[in-house]
Amino acid sequence: MPPPPRLLFLLVMLLVVAAPGAPVFGANAPPEVKAEIDALLMFRSGLRDPYAAMSGWNASSPSAPCSWRGLACAAGTGRVVELALPKLRLSGAISPALSSLVYLEKLSLRSNSLSGTIPASLSRISSLRAVYLQYNSLSGPIPQSFLANLTNLQTFDVSGNLLSGPVPVSFPPSLKYLDLSSNAFSGTIPANVSASATSLQFLNLSFNRLRGTVPASLGNLQDLHYLWLDGNLLEGTIPSALSNCSALLHLSLQGNALRGILPPAVAAIPSLQILSVSRNRLTGAIPAAAFGGVGNSSLRIVQVGGNAFSQVDVPVSLGKDLQVVDLRANKLAGPFPSWLAGAGGLTVLDLSGNAFTGEVPPAVGQLTALQELRLGGNAFTGTVPAEIGRCGALQVLDLEDNRFSGEVPAALGGLRRLREVYLGGNSFSGQIPASLGNLSWLEALSTPGNRLTGDLPSELFVLGNLTFLDLSDNKLAGEIPPSIGNLAALQSLNLSGNSFSGRIPSNIGNLLNLRVLDLSGQKNLSGNLPAELFGLPQLQYVSLAGNSFSGDVPEGFSSLWSLRHLNLSVNSFTGSMPATYGYLPSLQVLSASHNRICGELPVELANCSNLTVLDLRSNQLTGPIPGDFARLGELEELDLSHNQLSRKIPPEISNCSSLVTLKLDDNHLGGEIPASLSNLSKLQTLDLSSNNLTGSIPASLAQIPGMLSLNVSHNELRGEIPAMLGSRFGTPSVFASNPNLCGPPLENECSAYRQHRRRQRLQRLALLIGVVAATVLLLVLFCCCCVYSLLRWRRRFIEKRDGVKKRRRSPGRGSGSSGTSTDSVSQPKLIMFNSRITYADTVEATRQFDEENVLSRGRHGLVFKACYNDGTVLAILRLPSTSSDGAVVIEEGSFRKEAESLGKVKHRNLTVLRGYYAGPPPDVRLLVYDYMPNGNLATLLQEASHQDGHILNWPMRHLIALGVSRGLAFLHQSGVVHGDVKPQNILFDADFEPHLSDFGLEPMVVTAGAAAAAAAASTSATTTVGSLGYVAPDAAAAGQATREGDVYSFGIVLLELLTGRRPGMFAGEDEDIVKWVKRQLQRGAVAELLEPGLLELDPESSEWEEFLLGIKVGLLCTAPDPLDRPAMGDVVFMLEGCRVGPDIPSSADPTSQPSPA
């Protein structure tokens, strides 16, 4: 009778009153408690807490920290003794501040996402008894003295992390539980573990990278219950001294490289329950003690599979608790070990992968508790004993790859708990027993490679849990019944290699979970494929080869987006290959050989980027081989033989770098054999026979290192067979039926041919000499013209420069054209944002991109001056047409996208992109800018230095600095990093307004090959950025352009603009411009900073203040630490006249006076 509610209430109240509550300190908390609160809050601040588990950690709480989630305090003192926050997805590093919790006894942060190292300061918490940090992402080593300092530690679990380094060699004597598994520890197992951790009960070092041997000293651990060393690189033998671990329950040494024997003394440890030494290199005999009996009656599980044991010592008796015996994958032979029938409690018996012979004895029926019986991969003969039907608990039966004969036992139908039945690779005959329909729990039925006959029993199709059905390579006949659609859970159906006939039933469309369908090799399946087949969303593998299916090649397969393997070979399909197959993103194998497919190869197949096999041989395909197939980078086998393909072999096919087999024989291909085929370094088979190929055999084919088979016979090839190919493939049939081919291994001599070739060479040599002479003459004339043009250009530049101050400022800036329309509508147009100009107009305006029209040469290409018929003058940047490997620099779509984006970046102090052109021709990439008639800042500074700086007065220098800073600030605000700020990239329009140029072009000049090379080189070297003298040291070291690097480069340009000094070394001193300016300031020699053209500045004038302000801004921008450099927006603010930040220290600081606001 339950107690009355009033009594329950009193009991609860009594417990509440009696329970020691958390102390309430409020604002009067002792200093040591406040220190623990601060440490915990610091710990929380370093973590990301997605579940807000620590959101209630409030320092103002009266009972803090004892009332916080995950914490426990000692009664009365308020000192934290437990911190437990498991399974909360916490991420971040563990704060060293936790070492302030000096009374902490338990730390549990397991099953989170913590990273970083284990703080060494935790070793100062001497009260710690248990540490649970398993299943995180902690890394780094464990300090050697870390565990030894925790003198009260009993449990230490850091399994499932990324820890590395050696295993600690010293441990506290109180340690009982140590788990370092599933990390990356290396080195050897410390031999002194038993000396320092004498109380150890659990030791798990599995799944690391430990080498060496198993220390014999581990046998001194008398209290050890569990020793797990699986999955390492241990060698040597199993030490017999382990038998001294008299309390050992579980010994697991699986997955190492241990040799020698299994010591009988280790197997006979009286307390041992689980012995696991699988997957080593042990030899000799399996000791009788491994099966329990008199010496050890506690053994339950024996796992010795995956070794090289050659015999078993038969035990006198078996352990009464023996449940699992795993002897698989050894070298055991002889008859079935019938003495195992005495283990009445056996649940798993695995003898697979050995060399047992003879018949399986009826005594196997005595194993009534058996759940798994695995006998596959032996040489058992005879029939399966009917007594197996007594094993009523059996769930897995594996008899594959033996020599069993007779009928499949009908008694299997009585084993109602069977889930998996594997009978393949035997000689079973007769029909499939209908009694198998009683196995309602059956999930897998596999009987391939037998001699089963008859129809499929209808009882099979009531097995609602069946997911795997393989009846391949038998002699089954009849039609595939419509009731197959009842197997709703089926995932794999393989009926290949039988004699089924008729059509595929439409009910197959009910198998919505089907992933694998193999109906190949029936010969008599016919008709059209049911439309329902194309509605199976999970289908990944389809093989219908070797049947009599007809009709057009089914386009419905293109709707199966998960499809990876499609084999339609050896049928009677007609029509063309569906182009929609090119939209199957996962397709890896497409085989439709030996059909009647006609038409051209669809170019869309090149979209199947994962395709590894394309086999369309023996059809009626016509037309060329698409060059787009070069995009199939994963293709390993291309077989288009025995068709009617024509034209040339596309040289682009050499881009299929993974090709192993290339068969194009028996077509109508012409032209020469592409020499680029030698780039196929993985090619093993090349068959180009029975075509109309002409020319000579490329000698470079001999450079393919792994080519095993070559056939170029029955063509119209001529010339001498390359000597290396002739000696490598010495069979004449390889080169036969080419009338004009000569040289070994053919009997045709090459003397007459060589004379003909010699005459041709002489004629070509004479022609070459004439061409070279004419070319040299043209080059001399061209150089003279270039020198003349350069002198004319220099004279015009000087004339314009000298007249700058006399020119009036016009209302508009720049000489960019708003554009005019062209009469030739059919000409390809430049994409102009405000006008219409054709490519033909641009070619004419630049005189076909003549060298005389080159304005500058930069790292992004050549800049041409374009003078159009209507008077418009523009600057045309022509990007490099091809990379070193001959590939187009950038794909057209990407170029257009980048150009459109760059065209939106507009500012009065930036060179604005007015338009672009992306072909045709396909390798032409143009960018259109306003023409800047007054050159660049570098030229202007050079001319100023020759005339004592008088052509650049102070107002002009100040406006140049201000304009460049505004342009660069706008770039940074738009998310663009320039990366190469220098005087050569500061251009002047007709009004001497400065324009920052050469930005945003990096994405337009990177090829795929260059990107891969840059990624590979990044592991060993940094990328060069910026220009020498202007690039920031931090940006050069990192190999990456940054905003801070742009600020540094601007500071160098600013100092050069103000002082007239170059940024490099001066007067042989180890001193750059920044150090030189600082030295002059420290000496008080401010006048030394002035260029001769600025000596007229009055020290009492505002222009003097502006000059000093500019020097100060330049030094701030070139600060060594990137974090100390101002943003470009702040630089603009300072150059416009506002006060600068903190003063630059110097002994005589003339710049310390207030700057004008």
pLDDT digits (tens, 9 = 90+) for 958-982: 999 999 999 999 999 988 999 889 9
- How far is Cα 614 from Cα 581, in angstroms, rounded to an integer? 12
What does R_g of the chain's alpha carbons equal in angstroms?
Answer: 42
Tokens for 595, please give them. Answer: 């059909």
| Best-predicted range by mean pLDDT (99-108, 1025-1034, 1134-1143) | 99-108
Burial of 16 (0-12, 13-18, 19+ CB in 10 A): exposed
Helix, strand, or coil (residue 680): coil
At 1096-1117, the pLDDT tens digits run 777 777 788 888 889 999 999 9
Give the H/E segment covering residue 789. helix 751-802
* CA quadruple 838, 844, 849, 855: dihedral sign: negative
* CA quadruple 71, 72, 74, 75: dihedral sign: positive
Q: Which domains does the chain have, with CATH numbers?
A: 332-454 (3.80.10.10), 467-539 (3.80.10.10), 813-931 (3.30.200.20), 936-1157 (1.10.510.10)
Straight-line distance from the first to the last Cα atom of the chain, in angstroms, rounded to the nearest whole number? 91
At 322-365, the pLDDT tens digits run 999 999 999 999 999 999 998 989 999 999 999 999 999 999 99
φ, ψ of residue 326 to 5 degrees: the values are -115, 105
Q: What average pLDDT score do residues 610-623 get? A: 97
pLDDT of residue 818: 35
In the block, tokens 């788990």 appear at 179
Q: Report the b/e string of 962-995 with b at 16+ CB within 10 A.
A: bbbbbbbbbbbeeebbbbbbbbbbbbbbbbbbbb
Instruction: Tell me the Ramachandran region of residue 630: left when phi exceeds 0, alpha when psi lies from -120 to 50, beta otherwise.
Output: alpha
At 431-485, the pLDDT tens digits run 999 999 999 999 999 999 999 999 999 999 999 999 999 999 999 999 999 999 9
**Number of Cα atoms under 13 Å in the Cβ half of residue 1156:** 13
- How far is Cα 325 from Cα 269, in angstroms, rounded to an integer? 17
- How far is Cα 570 from Cα 547, in angstroms, rounded to an integer? 7
Contact 239, 212 (CB under 8 A): no
> Where residue 662 falls among pLDDT bands split at 50, 70, 90?
very high
At 492-525, the pLDDT tens digits run 999 999 999 999 999 999 999 999 999 999 989 9
Contact 347, 323 (CB under 8 A): yes
- How far is Cα 358 from Cα 1139, in angstroms, rounded to an integer? 100
In the block, tokens 């090619």 appear at 683
Q: What average pLDDT score do residues 922-929 get? A: 86
> Where residue 659 falls among pLDDT bands split at 50, 70, 90?
very high
Q: How much of the chain exceeds pLDDT 90, in percent? A: 66
521 closest CA partner among 555, 562, 471: 471
- Long-range CB contacts (within 8 A, 24+) of 229-233: 229/189, 229/205, 229/253, 229/256, 230/206, 230/254, 230/255, 230/256, 230/276, 231/206, 231/207, 231/255, 231/256, 232/205, 232/206, 232/207, 232/208, 232/256, 233/209, 233/257
- How far is Cα 995 from Cα 813, in angstroms, rounded to an integer? 11
As a whole number, the mean pLDDT across the chain is 87
The secondary structure of residue 724, as a DSSP letter, is H
Does the pLDDT at position 811 exceed 80? no
pLDDT of residue 19: 37
DSSP 412-435: GGG-TT--EEE--SSEEEEPPPGG
pTM to 2 decimals?
0.64
pLDDT of residue 314: 92
- How far is Cα 439 from Cα 432, in angstroms, rounded to an integer? 13
Peptide bond into 920 cis (omega under 30): yes
Is position 991 annotated as part of the catalytic site?
Answer: no
* Lowest-pLDDT choice from 313-317, 810-814, 931-935, 1069-1073: 810-814
At 89-117, the pLDDT tens digits run 999 999 999 999 999 999 999 999 999 99
User: Which residues are bridge partners to 645 per DSSP?
Assistant: 623
Contact 247, 224 (CB under 8 A): yes
Does the pLDDT at position 846 exceed 80? yes
- How far is Cα 528 from Cα 1108, in angstroms, rounded to an integer? 89
- How far is Cα 799 from Cα 793, in angstroms, rounded to an integer? 10
Contact 554, 566 (CB under 8 A): no
3-state secondary structure 1055-1121: HHHHHCCCCCCCCCCCCCHHHHHHHHHHHCCHHHHCCHHHCCCCCCCHHHHHHHHHHHHHHHHCCCC
Alpha helix (H) residue ranges in 46-165: 146-149
Within 10 Å of residue 486's Cβ, how many Cβ atoms?
Answer: 18
472 closest CA partner among 443, 445, 490, 506: 445
At 251-310, the pLDDT tens digits run 999 999 999 999 999 999 999 999 999 999 999 999 999 998 665 678 999 999 999 999
Contact 1150, 1108 (CB under 8 A): yes
> Where residue 831 falls among pLDDT bands split at 50, 70, 90?
confident
Q: What average pLDDT score do residues 735-754 get? A: 84
Options 980, 989, 1072, 1130, the catalytic residue: 980
The secondary structure of residue 800, as a DSSP letter, is H
In the block, tokens 């007065």 appear at 953
Contact 368, 393 (CB under 8 A): yes
Q: How much of the chain exceeds pLDDT 70, in percent? A: 88
Tokens for 47, please give them. Answer: 């973590």
pLDDT of residue 812: 33
Between residues 619 and 780, which one has the greater pLDDT?
619
Residues in the chain: 1157
Q: What average pLDDT score do residues 633-644 get? A: 96
φ, ψ of residue 561 to 5 degrees: the values are -70, -15
Peptide bond into 141 cis (omega under 30): no
φ, ψ of residue 43 to 5 degrees: the values are -60, -45
Does the pLDDT at position 750 exceed 60? yes
Report CA-CA distances (Å) from 941 to 410, 460, 982, 1056. 101, 93, 12, 9
Contact 1042, 1031 (CB under 8 A): no
Report CA-CA distances (Å) from 876 to 257, 812, 818, 849, 1127. 68, 21, 15, 9, 32
All residues at 6 or more sequence positions from 571 whose CB lies less than 8 Å from its CB, including other chains: 544, 545, 546, 547, 548, 549, 550, 594, 595
